[in-house]
Amino acid sequence: MITLFASLRSLARQILPQSVRRLLVKAYFRFETTLQGPLEKRFERRPGPLSDFKPLLPPSAFCGGPILLVNSGLSAGGVERQIVNTLVALDRQTGLSSGLLGLRLGQEPDLEFFRPALESFSGFVRNAVSVAGARRVIRSLLPLSAMRHIEQQVGWMPWDTKEEIFRLVAEFASLKPTVVHGWQDGSGIPAAYAARLVGVPRVLISTRNVRPTNFVWYRPHMYYAHRELATCPEILMINNSQAGAIDYAHWLGLPVERFVVKRNGLDPRSMRRATPEAVSVLRARLGIPPDAPIIGSLYRLNEEKRPLLWIETASVVSKTRPDCHFVVFGSGPMRKEVETAVGRAGLAENLHCPGTIADTALGLSLFDILLLTSRAEGTPNVVLEASALGIPVVATEAGGTREAIEEGVTGYLIKQAEPAIIASRILQVLQNADWRAGVQIAGPDFIGRRFGIDRMITETLDLYRMPSSPN
């Protein structure tokens, strides 16, 4: 069942527009309610709160186990970039045993995007065991009653989430990790539930944005799951921005203090501007004249990124500066809508959408200004990476974006999502060459102070209760 569902979901993402996908998601929720009954009633029928569940294994079983990170895959996103940064830094700086368990690695090409960045990683990167394999592992390693107790405790959840919990229970019972760190709502919830059921001593769930109701992938069980996880004091709830932590807390009716803010980590030393020769080659490949100013961005073509607002802004800028070119690196479900909007705006010659780019630094080095027009953000990695390279940022206010910009120093935040207002600021930045030159110094300095990789790893190890170097 889960294989069929995953295949259909993958196909839908590739061929269906966002509006149709939203309708299908709502239809699925109605279908699920018809089959299983209202979610709230199912939740109330569980045998007891998760915090009262007796773990299946004792604490002593996990001594010396690895650190496990859990995510759906390694797609071209900011979360996945932070997972890579974390794994590589843990490997390099601590020597601690670690690995990444995926839930959907390989099911779509995009879910493998960052795998090459982990080629030198000494730990493992693989999918969790299949559902059938998980049941065999659970029967062989855990008490005979384990399957029944797990099913009773999480029986209220959607069937695919339950199956992911079973897969991860089997992995945690086998690997006996010291730490489990689940990332994002969709994979973090099953990871945290499975870890708590098995008895993993240190469990973290990283929410990486504002509340999930802002996104097409939101599912109603997430509200109940997060609230139940919050009742377990041994489970740490993390967000990567103060704005995100506040938004989640208000949504769930929790004190803001229930969330730990752990900002993203970036090593400015690892971000090098591409050589002028490499940038010239990329310009030529895209058909951009050597001296043309370039406004650009890297993001997934999802609704919350507001790519249509980005195009409208580009259209306004081009009326004053017809010499400007615009580049968006990325792919996603709104690709066809974006292409249609570009043609409608008369920007087919000046706005380029070449797809994803493996070399982020090269893509960013092409830009005179990074433009981001998101409706919802946690901490946008592309803003951090642009600033680390000394590239000015103009962005709409959204979630933690404010925390990623030093206003008037590394970039500008726009409160109104109006193309004319955004374009006005872009034109002002283009005219001020001296200010742009100052960002080349101010940007890396700001990122080093607030988002340095060493700070992030130190905070991560503190949360893991791990030493900063191997014993």
What CATH code is carried by the domain that includes residue 252? 3.40.50.2000
How much is the pLDDT for 25? 63
What is the domain range of residue 387?
A: 271-451
Encode pLDDT of 276-317 as tens digits: 999 999 999 999 999 999 999 999 999 999 999 999 999 999
DSSP per position, 226-273: HHHHHT-TTEEEEESSHHHHHHHHHHHT--GGGEEE----B-GGG--P
How much is the pLDDT for 271? 83
Whether residue 209 is found in the same domain as residue 336: no
446 neighbors 411 (Cβ within 8 angstroms): no
Whether residue 213 is found in the same domain as residue 278: no
Higher pLDDT: 385 or 29? It is 385
Mean pLDDT to the nearest integer, 259-287: 93
Encode pLDDT of 158-196 as tens digits: 999 999 999 999 999 999 999 999 999 999 999 999 999
The residue behind tokens 């103009």 is 394
Nearest to 293, CA basis, from 195, 391, 367: 367
Count of domains for the chain:
2
Whether residue 312 is found in the same domain as residue 224: no
Token reading at 311:
């195009």
Q: CA 398 to CA 303: how far, in whole Å?
A: 13
Is 15 contained in some domain?
no
Name all contacts of 409-415 with Cβ < 8 Å and 24+ positions apart: 409/438, 409/439, 409/442, 409/446, 410/439, 410/442, 410/443, 410/446, 411/370, 411/383, 411/387, 411/439
Encode pLDDT of 197-233 as tens digits: 999 999 999 998 899 998 888 899 999 999 999 999 9
Q: Collapse the DSSP code of 211 into the 3-class scheme (helix H, G, I; strand E, B; otherwise coil) and give the result.
A: coil
Whether residue 352 is found in the same domain as residue 365: yes
Whether residue 258 is found in the same domain as residue 281: no
How much is the pLDDT for 140? 95
Q: 94-98, 117-121, 306-310: which has the minimum mean pLDDT?
A: 94-98
Higher pLDDT: 149 or 28? It is 149
How much is the pLDDT for 109? 83
Whether residue 441 is found in the same domain as residue 459: no
Encode pLDDT of 11-70 as tens digits: 555 556 655 665 666 676 666 666 667 899 999 999 999 999 999 999 999 999 999 999
Whether residue 76 is found in the same domain as residue 201: yes
Whether residue 108 is found in the same domain as residue 189: yes
Is 32 contained in some domain?
no
Measure Cα distances from 419 to 372, 373, 402, 410, 424 in Å: 12, 10, 19, 21, 8
Encode pLDDT of 336-369 as tens digits: 999 999 999 999 999 999 999 989 999 999 999 9
Is 312 contained in some domain?
yes
Is 148 contained in some domain?
yes
How much is the pLDDT for 260? 97
Is 18 contained in some domain?
no
Whether residue 162 is found in the same domain as residue 282: no
Is 470 contained in some domain?
no
| Whether pLDDT at 153 is above 90 | yes
Whether residue 320 is found in the same domain as residue 385: yes
Whether residue 208 is found in the same domain as residue 278: no
How much is the pLDDT for 197? 98
* Position 2 confidence tier, pLDDT thresholds 50, 70, 90: very low
Whether residue 51 is found in the same domain as residue 184: yes
How much is the pLDDT for 214? 87
